[in-house]
Amino acid sequence: MTATDKGTGKAQDIKITGASTLSSDDVDRMVKDAETFADEDKAKREAVDTRNAADSMVYQADKQLKEFGDKVPAELKTKVEAAQATLKEAVAKDDVAGMKAGMEALQAEVMAIGQAVYAAGGAAGGAPGADGAAPGGEGGAGAAGPGSAGPSDDTVIDADFTDTK
């Protein structure tokens, strides 16, 4: 590569060469090894990713049980704990198929926790809007919105806007 300084007119050259200490035979052998073990590496990667997802799901389920402990029915809590135990056993055995099945079962039970919590909240009147007010509103006759003239101000005005400068 050549570069010329426009101010002085001097030119400088640089040559870039490969600095590999490996012979071409070594490189070819490494490429063949990589191709040979590609399927094995893919399987190991899947196992590690599945194990990480399973560990994360067990942690999230524990977190939800602690957070909503008194709101979750005992029967559902028992089901979640059983699904967690099954998943933990599959993780301990490095059983990828067992981990996937356990994750599906635990996911279904965790979703049931959410449904139970929101159902209990709605029955107790704690759901947003349960008192007739819009979410975030105060309720009552004067809560039609900021700057409104009253609760029945539904008049729409169609207008054209022109900006002149």
pTM above 0.75, yes or no: no
Give the pLDDT band of residue 143 (cuts 50, 70, 90). Answer: very low
Residue 108 has pLDDT above 50, yes or no: yes
Using pLDDT thresholds of 50, 70 and 90, give the confidence band for residue 127.
very low
- CA of 4: how far to CAs of 8, 11, 15, 44, 106, in Å? 8, 4, 15, 53, 68
- Give domain limits for the chain: 25-123
Distances (CA, A) of 9 to 45, 62, 63, 79: 56, 72, 70, 81
Instruction: For 25-123, give the CATH class.
Output: mainly alpha
Please tell me whether residue 13 adopts helix, strand or coil conformation. strand
